[in-house]
Structure 1
Amino acid sequence: MTDDGLVARAAEQTASVTALAQELIRLPSRAGVDDYGPVLAVLERWLGARDLPHRRLHDERGDLVGLLVEIEGGRPGRWWVLDACVDTASFGDEDAWSFAPTSGEIRDGFLLGRGSADSKLPAAVFCHIAADLQARAADLHGGLAVLLDVDEHTGGFGGARAYLADPRAVRPAGVMIGYPGMEEVVVGGRGLWRARITVHAPSGHSGSSRTVVGAVSRAARLVQLLDDAELPPGPLGGVGFPLRPKLTVTAIEGGQGFSVSPDRCDLNVDIRTTPAFDGTDAESLVRKACAELDAAFPVPEPTQVTTIACWPPFQLRPDEEPAAALLQAARAVGLQVRPKVAGPSNIGNLLAGEGIPATAGFGLPYIGLHGTDERAHLAELPLVHAAYHRAVLALLGAS
């Protein structure tokens, strides 16, 4: 099918794609809050009505974490994945919204509601692409999996983990994640290293004549040490990985009332990593700061560092698949896009740790992502739909 033919086909399906997305948006699926069964049941009914092979994914505890669609080609080749989450961020202050978070209405060219941008509308697009490919499966090399994740916004990425651990699933050669944003194809992202730091001190009465450096005061000194720590500058705007590492103390907790100098204070530290400053470097920096604190203000129990998560950074070359196919497809349907390395981490980092290349964003223009009045602009839907369709056909050797 020609590029014009793909755009025309996508335009024909716009009403169907939008209707499926509206049905999904009207069912709340907030991560860690709502039952995911109803929103997945909508997808299952849609897929079942078109005889598309699909099955539910569960994690090690048996919890429902996703839905997997698999279209096997008639010729040997590699498998590729379209991935979109159908769980969402929380609603926040619902009184601040100018429409219901579960609206699903179309107003002024926008599809309204939580998940319209991230990522129920992309999920609807990917289901339609799967249906079109099913009709010509005999011509495909390898296969296409559509992963519909309902454990993404928790940060657990349970759907992706369950898919990769599933012995029945073919390990993919690459993944295209349907995060929104139309000007860039995200081909990389900073990694992260996160830790919980526990600072100790002898407890005592705040009114005591004896000088006591409590855990909160020691923690405050540690925060200053971390804030003052030197991170490598990186080639910002230059050649190589374009972003610098970043350290943020994101939480501090300790003490109660007024009369007690506490014996414990806990800190959360988030470090965004790069190829030149990885998780090992991040941990070394934090442990060095903790050692400096303990040397300057010694206490019987040393400061403890507990690693919570560590994901590697990733960056695909523009000529590396699946980035090359998606960049070329977007340009072929008339969109001006550029490759981008994102600051936040995402499922692409998890996949990078598994040696699986991924793009982590290309989709519709949006407003209010994860915030108030989330909405996605629909005028560009046929072009985005056609770009993904073209990219998949190229990867499966059927373009």
Structure 2
Amino acid sequence: MDDVVGSVVALARELVRTPSRGGIDDYGPVLSLLERWLAWRGLPHRRLRDPEGTTVGLLVEIAGGLPGRWWTLDACVDTAPFGDASAWSFPPAAGDVVDGMLRGRGAADSKTAAAVFCHLAAEIAPRARELHGGLAVLLDVDEHTGRFGGARAYLADPGAVRPAGVMIGYPGLDEVVVGGRGLWRCVLTVHAPAGHSGARRETVGAVSRAARLVGMLDEAELPRDDWPLPPRLTVTAIGGGEGFSMVPDRCEIKVDVRTTPGFGLAEAERLVRGVVTAFDAAVPGPRPTGVDAVAAWPAYRLERDRQPAAALLDAAAGEGLAVRAKVAGPSNIGNLLAGEGIRATAGFGLPYRGLHGADECVDLAELPRVYRVYRQAVRQLLGAA
């Protein structure tokens, strides 16, 4: 086990030392690093491409010799931005180990998980004939942009076997995410007459109208239900105008609504459109406010005894870990998978600090147990002796 753990750490360090910030860095170097590692071990893998032909992930596929369902381990290898590098006490791409902590952007989210999953694939592959179904390992990028390009390419790939469930390797030793609020997002376009700010006749511009609409959205009442987290409506951005002297004729508002089973996608859209209709009646403009939906994912929840949650939670309990199943507020790839009818867990990994902030790092002391938990869960799912 010590040899495996050492090899996992070595690969994770290389990955952290290879910057792959979502939407900022070229993903080629980090994917090439993984390709070399997989090829050297003879693991069957191929590139996944988006509709423009850009490589957005690697897919390892290990087919069992016996009939059964396929399961997927997923870890993104792009990362959040560094933010203010001066706020870090070490270089953001350090990739070193100090006092048992692997340090650097991506150590927690989710390059260490990618290293673990690669090693699990290498361990399982020689015994593939004994397995039921199959195991896929998805190493995706374009996750931190919110586009989930790698995951979407996987789901759209006609050659990939659709899995019965996915375990997403986000960090955290005491919780497994088995559900999440859904989301409905839109862009509202507010219109007004254009004019000059110094004109004798006052013109109410689009920004001023939009500010009134933001207030009405903030005051909108949302219902409550017995879901672990309540619905929420948040205005996340507003933009319009080009200078000081011109009263703008257009302003855009971005709205994020988090949904639940009792307040779903249709209800979210109906609420926002109702507020917009009332706004246009109270503060008339030259034309109605535009409502353009840009994303919609359903809320989901996987019961404790359903796979792959049961296998992961049982394996954790077998290692003496008290792991709680939870419903998350933030969205993740699990929501995207739920929209495709695929069960997903997210989380369970190493203890961490600085996720998406300064001084991101993970505690390697728990790496042997985390590795054993995933190994046992995968063996249970594949019916391995």
Common fold by TM > 0.5: yes
Q: Distance between the aligned counterparts of 1:249 and 1:265, measured in 2?
A: 13
Aligned to 2:127: 136
Instruction: Flag structure 2 segments of 5+ consecutive residues without an equivalent.
Output: none
Shift of 1:57: 0.6
What amino acid does structure 1 have at the position aligned with 2:58? Answer: L
Q: Equivalent of 1:19, from 10, 13, 20? A: 10
Q: Deviations over 1:352-381 (max 9, x none)?
A: 000000001111110000111100111001
Q: Deviations over 1:311-342 (max 9, x none)?
A: 11111000111001100011111111010001
Where do 1:234-383 residues align within 5 Å? 234-235=225-226, 241-383=227-369
SS at structure 1 position matched to 2:183: strand
Q: Deviations over 1:274-306 (max 9, x none)?
A: 111112111111111111111012122110011
Q: Equivalent of 1:104, from 71, 95, 98? A: 95
Q: Distance between the aligned counterparts of 2:178 and 2:165, measured in 1?
A: 12
Aligned to 1:6: none
* Kept in 2: contact 1:130–1:146 (CA 8 A): yes
* Kept in 2: contact 1:206–1:260 (CA 8 A): yes
Q: Distance between the aligned counterparts of 1:43 and 1:89, measured in 2?
A: 19
* Kept in 2: contact 1:84–1:120 (CA 8 A): yes
Aligned to 1:387: 373
Residue-pair matches, total = 385
Q: Distance between the aligned counterparts of 1:190 and 1:365, measured in 2?
A: 24
* Kept in 2: contact 1:27–1:102 (CA 8 A): yes
Q: Distance between the aligned counterparts of 2:225 and 2:197, measured in 1?
A: 45
1:162 aligns with 2:153: yes
TM-score, normalization by structure 2: 0.98
Q: Which moved more, 1:252-261 or 1:59-68?
A: 252-261
* Kept in 2: contact 1:218–1:293 (CA 8 A): no
The percent of aligned pairs where both chains have the same amino acid is 68
Aligned to 2:32: 41
Q: Distance between the aligned counterparts of 2:308 and 2:115, measured in 1?
A: 21
Q: Equivalent of 2:191, from 171, 175, 200? A: 200
SS at structure 2 position matched to 1:15: helix
Aligned to 1:181: 172
CA RMSD of aligned residues (A): 1.1
Aligned to 1:3: none
Q: Distance between the aligned counterparts of 1:143 and 1:52, measured in 2?
A: 14
Q: Deviations over 1:42-81 (max 9, x none)?
A: 1111111111101111011101100000111111110000
Instruction: Flag structure 1 segments of 5+ consecutive residues without an equivalent.
Output: 1-8, 236-240
Q: Distance between the aligned counterparts of 1:138 and 1:258, measured in 2?
A: 70
Q: Deviations over 1:155-213 (max 9, x none)?
A: 11111111111111111000000001111111011111111111001122334443432
What amino acid does structure 2 have at the position aligned with 1:312? Answer: P
SS at structure 2 position matched to 1:372: coil
What amino acid does structure 2 have at the position aligned with 1:218? Answer: R
Q: Distance between the aligned counterparts of 1:46 and 1:75, measured in 2?
A: 27
What amino acid does structure 1 have at the position aligned with 2:334? Answer: G
Q: Distance between the aligned counterparts of 1:44 and 1:257, measured in 2?
A: 49
TM-score, normalization by structure 1: 0.94
Shift of 1:95: 1.5
Q: Distance between the aligned counterparts of 2:196 and 2:52, measured in 1?
A: 45
What amino acid does structure 2 have at the position aligned with 1:201? Answer: A
Q: Distance between the aligned counterparts of 2:248 and 2:103, measured in 1?
A: 48
Which consecutive segments of 4 or more residues in structure 1 shift more than 4 A? none
Q: Equivalent of 2:116, from 101, 108, 125? A: 125
SS at structure 1 position matched to 2:116: helix
Q: Equivalent of 2:45, from 39, 51, 54? A: 54
SS at structure 2 position matched to 1:119: helix
* Kept in 2: contact 1:232–1:245 (CA 8 A): yes
Aligned to 1:5: none
Q: Distance between the aligned counterparts of 1:375 and 1:234, measured in 2?
A: 37
Q: Distance between the aligned counterparts of 2:152 and 2:254, measured in 1?
A: 25
Aligned to 2:210: 219
Q: Deviations over 1:11-69 (max 9, x none)?
A: 44111000000011111111111111111111111111111101111011101100000
Q: Equivalent of 1:396, from 367, 375, 382? A: 382
1:146 aligns with 2:146: no
* Kept in 2: contact 1:58–1:162 (CA 8 A): yes
Q: Distance between the aligned counterparts of 1:87 and 1:140, measured in 2?
A: 31
1:74 aligns with 2:65: yes
